[in-house]
Amino acid sequence: MAQIINMPRLSDTMEEGVVAKWLINIGDQVKEGDILAEIETDKATMEFESFYEGTLLHIGVNEGETAAVNTLLAIVGEKDEDISSLLVV
């Protein structure tokens, strides 16, 4: 089953973050603990790790883009899994 990964709150004052760099690509296998991306907060650039295992199926925020905390960041699930219902706004 696909898991939604939202923009995390990496500090107490963080309202939004910038995806500085994705370290994996769509279709890559992800293990729990793998670093997914570097996120710039209001205070620092931090590595963001996965709490899920599976295949990266979707990236919701491109490099250089800003997103509010709890915005869809990525989706991890089974290879070729239908995630269309998770992408409905």
- Do residues 70 and 61 make contact, with C-beta atoms less than 8 angstroms apart? no
Displacement of CA 50 from its chain's centroid (Å): 8
Residue 38 tokens, joined: 């570097």
Whole-structure pTM over 0.85, yes or no?
A: yes
- Do residues 53 and 77 make contact, with C-beta atoms less than 8 angstroms apart? no
Residue 11 tokens, joined: 């500090």
- Do residues 53 and 30 make contact, with C-beta atoms less than 8 angstroms apart? yes
27-37 pLDDT, tens digit per residue, is 999 999 999 99
5-15 pLDDT, tens digit per residue, is 999 998 888 89
